[in-house]
A and B are shown apart, each in its own frame.
Chain A
Amino acid sequence: MLTEEELIQQCLENDKWALEQLYKQFAPKMFGVCLRYAKNRMEAEDILQEGFIKVINNLHSFRSKGSFEGWMRRTMVNTAINHYKKNLRHAREMDIEEVEVENNSELKVLDKISTDELMAMIQQLPEGYKVIFNLNVIEGYTHKMIGQMLGISENTSKSQLLRAKRLLKDKIKNYGTHGAE
């Protein structure tokens, strides 16, 4: 079994077998990341493909100091953000109604729903909200960093995150209600 370092080395030598192994090893995790940023599965596939080619082309710039998976994940996230920015002008802006959180009923529902179902709800979020939600809640980026990445102010990032959470909670609650029926 090759170590991660050896595998990367072989990939750098353009060994097709090693590239396939790298893909097999990391594609499922990265596909999970892509799905969260995409509108649907097809878009996620596009992001994965684009991101993986970026990873292969920039493999030489990877410094073995940090985690390779982390580096690859960042590349995927950046690809997804670029994808979002590219499609931004075509994105349909949605009017978001303010959803007041009255209780924490969504937490109970959240335990019951599967990851795929949760993923579907996140995917349904408006583009901007979805990206900020993913970057902050899942990836752990600060609002300052998100602001820099997306070219928006820190406050915009904060307010959009708040709205994203409210919307997602609403969806989860609705799911709970729908499921209860």
Chain B
Amino acid sequence: MEQNSFEHKIQKKFDGYQPTPPAHVWQNILFELKQQEKNKNIAGRFRRRKTLVAAIAAGIAAAALILFYVFNYSNTSHHNTLPEKSKITEDSSNNTPSDTRNHKSRINKDTQTVFSNEDSSNNNTDEESARQNTGNSSRTKDTLKKDEKHNEQNPGGLPMDKNKYIREKSAGILTMLTPYPLRQPHSPHNDMTPHKRLSSHDNNHLAETKEQGFSKISSHGKWSFGLYATPELLMTKAPAANTHPNYSADFAAIYSMKNFFIQTGMSYLSGNNNTDVDVDYLKYNFLGSYEDVYEVTFDSTENGVEPTYHTKTVEVYDTLQKQTSSHFKNKYRYLNLPLLIGYGRQISPRFSVSLKGGPILSLMLKDNRKVGFNQPNTDITNMTAPEPRAKTNWQALFSAGIEYHVSSTIRFALEPRIKYYFNPVYNLDNTIKKNEKPYSIGIRTGVVIDF
């Protein structure tokens, strides 16, 4: 009982005990909160940067891997042909009439532009094959010997009798495989010596001339770099607007091999939309304050019982319902990382056309949505805010382009393009998301420099 009385008195003493903390405590709290917010932003920025760096690194790694394989493949096939070319150079110089069994083989190989010599076992098979084709082995040998003699007399040119022989005896099969020199026997290359004709440079030149016409695209692969500007229109079913203009500045690195190329790089895209923000809010107008007595205690003193009034300050506000409507332009910034594969062909000395397509990873760098309402002593009851956009988006791009060759190294490009978005641009609710199939159309213009 005594204990309870002691405890009860203590409790009562502290009932309504509200000492005022010093003002600097609130200042410290505010400072701490600001620091936390700052740290949070830094952490968020760091996370975003980490994602960005990881994405860029992944893109570069993927592009490098593909280019490595492509380049490696190119080098491998190039090295495989060189020794064979050397062989044929030696063979041609030591060509004798008795070497007729290799001759037929060479004719067949010539038709495939490989210029390889073959071992005797293969040649025997080829010879038998040739006999079957001609149906008369002795005549074949005679004809071949004749051809050899003719070749010795005219070593630079391709054997005309051989052509005749091919046309006569193997037209159905061999003509299909006939290389460029056979179709154009009066080419200036026919006047070359065997050494010259079979050198790797000339051989490549012949192949390029035949296959590419005036194209500068090399079979070894080459690098080009491009700078572009692209205006485009984004079509979406977002509530704010149906079309949104986007503008991008692109840097592209292009690795071409023969008629195919791989393109990567990065592009900085700026997009915007217009939204109307309607805000219903309550405005609190400060009218004044009063001291509210929430407890009265009575203490016995020498002068008798004295009341103590415990009060707290109550502020009085007048509440007004208000509404405001504002028109805002929201801006968004993205980094786009493409990885495109394409096919290009020169159609005239000055013009070339190309088709390309591939995925693009789009990362949002900045979301500058404006809510536009920041008034003190207010309470927002309803607000139509712009929908947030997705932070990352995968897109598929298809583009057809035409290029004008200003010089041997500089080209102007014009590329109409269409982008299909795999994810909705806006974070919409599921019902809208299902029907949301955004796409964009644009025209890319720029300059490409070959190295």
**A residues at B contact (CB < 8 Å):** 1-2, 6, 10, 16-17, 19-20, 23, 27-29, 31-32, 35-36, 45, 48-49, 52-53, 56-57, 104, 106-107, 110-111, 115-116, 118-119, 137-138, 165, 169
Contact = CB atoms under 8 A, between A and B. Distances in A.
B3 interface: yes
Closest 3 CB pairs of A and B: A28-B18, A31-B21, A32-B17
Given A17-B376, A31-B21, A107 B9 contact: yes
Interface in B1-45: 2-3, 5-7, 9-11, 13-14, 17-22, 25-26, 28-30, 32-33, 36
B320 to A, nearest CB: 14
A27 B21 contact: yes
B211 interface: no
B10 A49 contact: no
Contacts of A32: 14, 17-19
Interface of B: 2-3, 5-7, 9-11, 13-14, 17-22, 25-26, 28-30, 32-33, 36, 284, 300, 312, 314-317, 376-377, 379
A56 B33 contact: yes
A6 B377 CA distance: 13
Nearest to B376: A17
Contacts of B25: 27, 45, 48-49, 52
Given A1-B316, A45-B21, A48-B21, 12 more contacts: A23-B29, A27-B26, A28-B20, A45-B25, A56-B29, A104-B5, A107-B2, A111-B300, A115-B14, A118-B13, A119-B17, A137-B7
A138 B32 contact: no
Contact of A35 (B19, B22, B30, B33): B19
Given A6-B379, A23-B29, A49-B29, A115 B6 contact: no
Contact of A138 (B14, B20, B284, B300): B14
A1 B317 contact: yes
Contacts of B19: 28, 31-32, 35, 116
Given A1-B316, A1-B317, A20 B26 contact: yes
A115 B26 contact: no
Contacts of A110: 6, 9-10, 13
Nearest to B7: A137
Contacts of B7: 137
A138 B36 CA distance: 33
A16 B22 CA distance: 19
A16 B31 CA distance: 12
A137 B7 CA distance: 6
B11 A137 contact: yes
A138 B18 contact: no
Contacts of B21: 27-28, 31, 45, 48
A99 to B, nearest CB: 13
A104 B377 CA distance: 54
Contact of A53 (B14, B29, B284, B314): B29
Contacts of B17: 32, 115, 119
A102 B409 CA distance: 108
A118 B10 contact: yes
Contact of B6 (A16, A27, A138, A169): A169
18 contacts: A16-B30, A17-B376, A17-B377, A20-B26, A27-B25, A27-B26, A28-B18, A31-B20, A48-B21, A48-B25, A49-B29, A52-B29, A56-B29, A111-B9, A137-B7, A137-B11, A138-B14, A169-B6
A107 B26 CA distance: 37
A165 B14 contact: no
B293 to A, nearest CB: 15
Given A49-B29, A111-B9, A31 B3 contact: no
B379 A53 contact: no
Nearest to B17: A32
B18 to A, nearest CB: 3
Nearest to B6: A107
